[in-house]
Amino acid sequence: MVFLYELKKLAATPALWGFIMLCVAFNCFITITQESGAGYPNFVSSVGKTAGTTLDRSFQEMLAAFPDDADGFKAALQTETADARDVFENYDIIEIGERYIGVHNADGKIAEIFRNKYADMQTHVDSLAAADESMSLYFGGGTYYLHQSLFGDVFGRLLMESMLCASLLTLLLFGYERSHNTELTAYSSKTGRRLLLTKLSASITASIIAFGLLAIVSLGTYFTLNDFSGIWRSSVSSGFNKMHDLIAGMRPFTTWRSFTVLGYFLACTGISIGIVAAISLFSAAVGVFLRNTYVGFMIVVLFNALCVVAPIAFSGRTFIHYIFTLSPIYLWGLRIRWFTDGSADTLWKNFELLGLAASGVLFLILYLTANKHFARRDLS
């Protein structure tokens, strides 16, 4: 019951709704105004529905049966897919790994972990080549733009807004009794200081609900304008999909396991929810210590700023550099590389899962420590 009352406190906070509405309006505005050239991806999607997403002879035949269009979309897609080749054939990702080791001037254990990671990835690349994984449609020539647009831009905005929202609403809830001068009655009641545990579960729940609301509207708008329905079953490691960095340039989009576009989308959504929950957990720990929403929010922002700056401050020859890249804010920055090798920025395999688990454990310890301290703290 107290859990529902805690959620009700948030639901009755106009500022929170105002923030969510602003985010929704902003996302919709950006999506609508940036929508350009969607005709071609929508055409590819319609082809995918009919011809499937595997680039084989059958696909070419079915594509050929499509009526010609004034925009030349069919001809463009025929050209792109006819030239398609298996990008994983003879793809030497170990050599890419060596370039990353070189740029960091890494040696010893760090170089060893890098090498092991890329050796493992090479094995997976070889299996992708054997399975002709890259011979998949995705959005043809529009793939890079649309992949970046969805998993980089839309997810980036959505996740950043959700993290801000999670932090704000968590700190709001943990500072609620102090700001309403109800601490003394609340903490002297039978529930007492166990209220903080209820506040934590309510905060995380509300954070995920807020993410859900933002996601439904923002992604709903995006998918209304960009039809993905025909390509969900396409492989995300399609030969048309690329990842880019300054050291290796453009290279195939290679994930640790085979993902369809839908599977990758769901996995990214799962990681996003995990990051939102982690931020809420961290904010809760700060909130227990400070019990002041606005000062707490500043601390959360400063901590995240530190996590962004720290990898720059520490050399890539040190573990501390890579430890900071596991922080939630850094994971946000690397969102376009989730489930890939992560390029030169990350040391370990599955950095997004590792980062999420490490952040979760660290923030949980921090929260439990704060809670333990609060249990014996004088309230005045």
Partner 1 sequence: MLALNNVTKNYGKFTALENINLEFSGGVYALLAPNGAGKTTLIKMLTTLIFPTKGEILWNGDEIVKLDASYRDSIGYLPQDFGYYKNHSPREFLLYMSAMKCMDRAAAKRRTEELIEVVGLSDVRDKKMRKFSGGMIQRVGIAQAMLNDPKILILDEPTAGLDPKERVRFRNLISSLSKDRIVILSTHIVSDIETIAGSVIMFKDHKLLTNDAPTAICGTLAGKVYETDDISAITAPYLALTEHQDGGRTITRFASERDCSNVAVSAAPNLEDVFLYVYRDEAV
Binding site for partner 1 (CB under 8 A): 1-2, 5, 12, 177, 180-192, 194-195, 376, 378-380
User: Considering beta carbons, is residue 128 or 206 the nearer one to partner 1?
Assistant: 206
Shortest reach from residue 377's CB to partner 1, in Å: 9
CB closer to partner 1, 11 vs 320: 11
Per the CB < 8 A criterion, the answer to whether 323 and 307 are in contact is no
The set of residues, in sequence order, having a beta carbon less than 8 Å from that of 329 and lying 6+ positions away, is 163, 304, 307, 308
Which CB sits closer to partner 1, 216 or 379? Answer: 379
Query: Residue 165, Cα to own-chain centre: how many angstroms?
Result: 16
Least spacing, CB of residue 175 vs partner 1, in Å: 13
Q: For residue 217, which of 11, 1, 29, 13 has the smallest C-alpha distance? A: 29
Cα dihedral 18→20→26→30 (10° resolution): -170
Shortest CB 203 distance to partner 1, Å: 17
Q: Least distance from C-beta 16 to partner 1, angstroms?
A: 14
- Of 179 and 369, the one with the shorter C-beta distance to partner 1 is 179
- Quick one: tokens of 331? 């994971």
The Cβ of residue 223 has, within 10 Å, a number of other Cβ atoms equal to: 14
Smallest separation, CB 17 to partner 1 (Å): 14
Report in angstroms how near the CB of residue 210 gets to partner 1 at its nearest. Answer: 21
Considering only CA atoms, which of 282, 210, 215, 197 is closest in space to residue 6?
Answer: 197
Please say which residue, 148 or 191, places its beta carbon nearer to partner 1.
Answer: 191
Dihedral angle of Cα 295, 297, 303, 308, to the nearest 10 degrees = -140
As a whole number of angstroms, the distance between CA 238 and CA 323 comes to: 31
Cβ closer to partner 1: 174 or 322? 174
